[in-house]
Amino acid sequence: MQDSNVASIVEDPELIAKRRGQIVAAATQLFAREGFYRTTIKDIAKLAGISSGLVYQYFREKEDILLLVLLEVLDSYSREIPQALEGVTEPLDRLLKAVDAYCRVVDRHRAAAVLAYRSTKSLPPDRRRELIQQREIETNQIIASAVKDCIKQGLIRKVNVDVLVYQIVLAAHGWALKSWYFKSRISLDEFIRETIDILLIGILTPVGEEQRAKQKRRANQRGKVQLPT
């Protein structure tokens, strides 16, 4: 549990790490289940097995807990995805593996992932929100650089990287955000497979030259689309 601008009264770094760990773990659970405002400091303290006053030895205010909870989520992304990519060298393999890993991290931290969408606004709008956004951008870099490598090697088309990256990210988050829907309909493995399938080769059917040209024209009216010939 890094400090991240969050002040603590206690000095001992080990103790800080331990206590903050307890508190953040409890808070993550409760924030995810009940939401930030419905969760009281007393609830958090009780679940963490400490007194409510002690929370304030490690966090200046309730919102600081939320901050660390959210940073934890983001950190779990930028920790676990690179880890999954270790040893994978082929650019396209790396990209696919990254998508796969992202979805699986989200799945593992499902509640926390949703939390990030729900509660970021509960932070005061100052540098703390920026902290979160900065972290999100950093995490996205992992995906982005995999995408760029693929483009560089001509493995994927020259698409807009920002849009593609967020398409991937949102799809992954979607597994958590819409788990109420997917849960009973599809497994994580299938979800990942289908998502990659669509992303990689699109949805259009392969068509004869004539058809394709027609399709292409129609699609091109919508904008930049350059169907492969």
Partner DNA sequence: AATGAATGAGAATTCATTCAT
Partner DNA sequence: GATGAATGAATTCTCATTCAT
The only residue of 61, 63, 75, 93 in contact with a second copy, by rule CB under 8 A: 93
DSSP string, 119-136: HGGGS-TTHHHHHHHHHH
Is the C-alpha dihedral spanning 39, 72, 63, 118 positive or negative? negative
Total residues at interface with a second copy (CB under 8 A): 69
Question: Are 74 and 24 spatial neighbours (Cβ–Cβ below 8 Å)?
Answer: no
Residue 61 near which of a second copy, DNA, none (CB within 5-8 Å, type-dependent): DNA
44 binds a second copy (CB under 8 A): no
- The Cα angle at residue 74 between residues 72 and 79, in degrees rounded to 5: 90
d(CA 76, CA 142): 13
Binding site for DNA (CB under 7 A): 9-12, 15, 19, 37-42, 50-54, 56-57, 60-63
Question: Between 91-108 and 161-177, two packed helices, what is the crossing angle to 10 degrees?
Answer: 30
Residue bearing tokens 């259009």: 204
Shorter beta-carbon distance to DNA: residue 15 or 207 = 15
Tell whether residue 157 is a contact of a second copy (CB under 8 A). Answer: yes
Q: Which does 155 bind (CB under 5 to 8 A by kind): DNA, a second copy, none?
A: a second copy
If the CB atoms of residues 3 and 189 are measured against a second copy, the closer one turns out to be 189
Closest distance to a second copy from the beta carbon of 48 (Å): 18
Which residue is associated with the tokens 């790490």? 17
Q: What does DSSP assign to residue 90?
A: S
Element of type H or E holding 21: helix 13-34
Measured distance CA(9)–CA(50) in Å, rounded: 16
Q: Which stretch binds a second copy (CB under 8 A): 46-54, 79-87, 102-110, 213-221?
A: 213-221
Q: Judged by CB, which is closer to DNA: 59, or 102?
A: 59
Name the site residues for a second copy (rule: CB under 8 A). Answer: 35-38, 90, 92-93, 96, 100, 114, 117-119, 121-122, 133, 137, 150, 154-157, 159-160, 162-164, 166-167, 170-171, 173-174, 177-178, 180-182, 185-186, 189-206, 215, 218-219, 222-229
